[in-house]
Amino acid sequence: MAEEEVKLYGTWVSPFSRRIELALKLKGVPFEYIGVDLSNKSPELLKYNPIHKKIPVLVHNGKSIVESLIILEYIDDTWKNNPILPRDPHQRAVARFWAKFIDEKLLATGMKASLAEGKEKELLNEEILEQMKLLENELNGKDFFGGEAIGLVDIVATVVAFWFPISHEVLGVEVITQEKFPVLLKWIGKLQEIDVVNQSRPPREKHVAHVRARMEGLNSGSK
C-alpha cells in the first residue's frame, strides 16, 4: 500500500484542532502538523477551507475535510483500529448527540458568558453549571463517556477537562470540584493517565499565559 499523506492544519491552543490531533494519535496515524496564523491566513488554508477559512483542516492524500466533528467521524471511518464511535446505531446516535451538545450548547454558552457583564453574565454562568450537570449525569457509572475506553464524546469533552479549568484558574474560581462535579473530576483524572491525551494538550504554563493575556485584552477593551 502506498504511503498515505495526512496533514493537520491547526493552532496550538485550539481545542478543535487538538481533538483531531488526539484522535489521530489514538489511531496511531502518522501526520504532519501545520500551525496556522489565523491573523494572516495562508494560501494553503484558504485553498483547503475556502468557505469557512477556519481550522482545523485535515488533508488526506490531497483531499480536505473540515469541521472538527465531521473530521473525527472521517478518521474513525478511515482507520478502523481503536474505534472512537460505537458499532451499535443507537449508541452512535447518542454519542453524536452529546458531542454536538458540548459544541453547540456548552461552548456556545461559555463564549456568550465570556463577553457578557453583570446580571447577564451571572445567568449564563448558571446555565453553564446546569449544562455541566447534564454531562455529569451522562457520565455517571462509567469510566469514560465511551464506556471502558475513550471515545468520541471524551475527545470532544477534553475542552471541559483541560480548557475550562485553565480559564477558571485565571479568573480565580473553582468550578469542577469534588463537591460539585465528582464524576467529571474523576474522569479528568483518568484522562490524565493517558499519554496521548497529555501530548494533545497545550503546554500548561503557555496556556495560562495565553488565557490571561486574552482576558486582559477583553477587559481593557470594555473600559
CATH label of the domain that carries residue 171: 1.20.1050.10
106 lies in some domain: yes
C-alpha cell at 91: 449508541
115 lies in some domain: yes
Same domain, 130 and 207: yes
Same domain, 99 and 149: yes
Same domain, 97 and 188: yes
Residue in 142, 175, 155, 131 with CA at minimum distance from that of residue 24: 155
83 lies in some domain: no
**Buried/exposed code over 20-58 (b: 16+ C-beta within 10 A; e: otherwise):** bbbbbbbbebebeeeebeeeeeeeebeebbeeeebbbbb
Phi-psi region of 213 (alpha: psi -120 to 50; beta: other; left: phi over 0): alpha
Residues 67-92: pLDDT tens digits?
A: 999 999 999 999 999 999 999 999 99
Same domain, 20 and 98: no
Among 18, 45, 78, give the residue marking a domain's end: 78
Look-up: residue for cell 484542532?
17
pLDDT recorded at residue 220: 58
| Consecutive 10-residue averages of pLDDT for the chain (223 residues) | 84 97 98 96 96 97 98 97 96 97 96 89 93 97 94 98 93 90 97 97 95 79 46
Among 78, 104, 120, give the residue marking a domain's end: 78
148 lies in some domain: yes
Phi-psi region of 180 (alpha: psi -120 to 50; beta: other; left: phi over 0): alpha
| Domain total of the chain | 2
Same domain, 107 and 191: yes
1 lies in some domain: no
Among 48, 78, 108, give the residue marking a domain's end: 78
Same domain, 120 and 73: no
pLDDT recorded at residue 16: 98
pLDDT recorded at residue 222: 47
84 lies in some domain: no
Same domain, 34 and 136: no
74 lies in some domain: yes
Domain CATH number, residue 40:
3.40.30.10
Same domain, 45 and 148: no
Same domain, 22 and 119: no
Residues 164-186: pLDDT tens digits?
A: 999 999 988 889 999 999 999 99
Q: Kindly state the DSSP code that residue 3 receives in the 8-state scheme.
A: P
Residues spanned by the domain of 64: 6-78
